[in-house]
Structure 1
Amino acid sequence: METLPKLYTELADWWYILSSPEDYAEEAEFYRQAIISACELNPLTLLELGSGGGNNASHLKQHFEMTLVDISPEMLAISRELNPECEHIEGDMRTVRLNRQYDAVFIHDAIDYMQSASDLRSAIATAYSHCKPGGVALFAPDHTLESFQPGTTHGGCDLNNRSLRYLEWTWDREPNENTYISVMVYVMRERDKLVRCVEERHVFGLFSKNDWQRFVTEVGFKPQSIPFKHSSFEGDSRDVFLGLKQRESGKMTSK
């Protein structure tokens, strides 16, 4: 992305009205259990790439010593208030190198902003370079090519004399392009102030399950996919992807 969306810059202080940390408890527990089940180590340290406002971290930090990396300084600022126990570092998941390794690496839906195969592979390679042998990386895209369906969602709430409502309208692009579009409309109101309406377009990458497993394998991981389990989902229509960094990793290099 040449320019970050307004949601992660000038509108960042509205983030918790749009997306409440409490709403992430169930899925954060799913990710925690998936990491523990796949990891050959006793995972104590966790690196989250694309950590955003720190909603997942607000739950996972109870179980791991966490380092949070995000490209947006505004999102890191609000996450520091929510998660003062965690280390926060500004960086791009495609290129950041911290020169240290963790028992586990986690990338939530920020991975969706990888619009090209080369960007996605670079982000996965970053996870590999920061993962200890015997450790695991978990990638949780919102959609794969097989599961994607166009649609609309809406929500929002009131908090501290501020109110936000949003409409999200999602559709796919040309058949031969591995991206889809999500248009967001935010309607914001503060007490005694006029309503403000902001619209912006997010472009996300869309890759097949085979693509995901191929990229995870190419950088050196042993791949695995598991269905995402959540009370709001009916059936197993969404997958998350895991990469185990094998202990004999000296024979493997991140390309």
Structure 2
Amino acid sequence: MLKLYNELADWWSLLSPVEDYEEEATFFGETLAKAGLPPSPSLLELGCGGGSNAYHLKKMFARVTLTDISPAMLRISQALNPECEHIEANMRTVRLGREFDAVFVHDAIDYMITPQELKQAMETVFVHCKPGGVALFVPDDVTESFEPSTESDGSDGVDRAARYIEWSYDPDETDYNYTVEYAYLLRERDGSVHVEHERHLIGLFPHDEWLRMLREVGFEAESVRDPYERDIFVAHKPVKINSIARKM
């Protein structure tokens, strides 16, 4: 498992503070509400990470279930969202045996690095979405929008501080991936600073391929542009499900 979500998870709140998610999560909540939610709706988030989006979204929902593949990240989310249900699970394969009014997948979907993995995750979302329910997928990029970039951020805590550099590039434009190099600079309580590096492989799929696969799974899908100029995908599960979708 990647360092960021395992041995470095204790630094998450400094590398990616929860307050930084408020504006983005507000837009996601408005998008889900506009798509149609019943009274007292339920929410499932796949790949919740440290629970920062859920922290801002949970006030909209009567019941919230959060899943992630990383036990360390789930512990962070549990501290932030103690009233929410937390389950360790892989979004490619998990089957909870329940359906939800809304299913949300933030940028954890980026770690689906083949078309097969992406479709597996879509099938998981479909299975857990109630007929008439809505799903929201938020990839960082589609193929058409990707551009190499370098970013940095981080924050200071009471007695520790963290910064990171994020360098994104695509060494092979013929495949379904791009690469992100992360360097983390971590200042300990005693003032010492150490540096960690790791490489993340990120999935990158064409816009129309997203829509095609969502529709193949059984969703009625469309894309919308968010305030950060990303193409994100809103998918409705029909009230009447065809026979192929029932077999997932």
Q: Which TM-score applies when normalising by structure 2? A: 0.96
Unmatched tracts of structure 1, length 5 or more? none
User: In the TM superposition, what is the alpha-carbon distance from 1:42 to its structure 2 partner?
Assistant: 4.3
Runs of 4+ in 1 over 3 A off after TM superposition: 40-43
Q: Which residue of 2 aligns with 1:69?
A: 67
Q: Which residue of 2 aligns with 1:36?
A: 33
Preserved CA contact (<8 Å) 1:43 1:104? no
Q: Which residue of 2 aligns with 1:245?
A: 237
Letter in structure 2 aligned against 1:210: D
User: In the TM superposition, what is the alpha-carbon distance from 1:122 to its structure 2 partner?
Assistant: 0.3
Alignment of 1:51-90 (within 5 A): 51-64=48-61, 65-90=63-88
More helix by share: 2
For the aligned residues, what is the CA RMSD? 1.2
Does 2:4 align with 1:12? no
**Aligned equivalent of 1:27, options 19, 24, 27:** 24
Preserved CA contact (<8 Å) 1:43 1:135? no
Percentage of pairs with the same residue: 50
- Separation in 2 of the partners of 1:102 and 1:115? 26
User: In the TM superposition, what is the alpha-carbon distance from 1:249 to its structure 2 partner?
Assistant: 1.7
Q: Which residue of 1 aligns with 2:154?
A: 156
Partner of 1:169: helix, strand, or coil? strand
User: In the TM superposition, what is the alpha-carbon distance from 1:41 to its structure 2 partner?
Assistant: 3.8
Partner of 1:14: helix, strand, or coil? helix
**Aligned equivalent of 2:106, options 105, 108, 117:** 108
Q: Which residue of 2 aligns with 1:209?
A: 207
- Separation in 2 of the partners of 1:187 and 1:216? 39
Question: What number of residue pairs does the alignment pair up?
Answer: 246
User: In the TM superposition, what is the alpha-carbon distance from 1:243 to its structure 2 partner?
Assistant: 1.0
Partner of 2:50: helix, strand, or coil? coil
Structure 1 window deviating more from structure 2 (155-164 vs 31-40): it is 31-40
Preserved CA contact (<8 Å) 1:48 1:67? yes
Partner deviation per Cα, 1:165-199 (whole Å, 9 max, x = no partner): 11111101212111000000000011214211000
- Separation in 2 of the partners of 1:39 and 1:62? 16
User: In the TM superposition, what is the alpha-carbon distance from 1:250 to its structure 2 partner?
Assistant: 5.2
Partner deviation per Cα, 1:117-137 (whole Å, 9 max, x = no partner): 000000010000000000011
Preserved CA contact (<8 Å) 2:37 2:101? no
Partner deviation per Cα, 1:45-77 (whole Å, 9 max, x = no partner): 000000000000001111112100000000001
- Separation in 2 of the partners of 1:45 and 1:103? 5
Letter in structure 1 aligned against 2:96: L
Preserved CA contact (<8 Å) 1:102 1:130? yes
Q: Which residue of 2 aligns with 1:139?
A: 137
- Separation in 2 of the partners of 1:153 and 1:170? 9
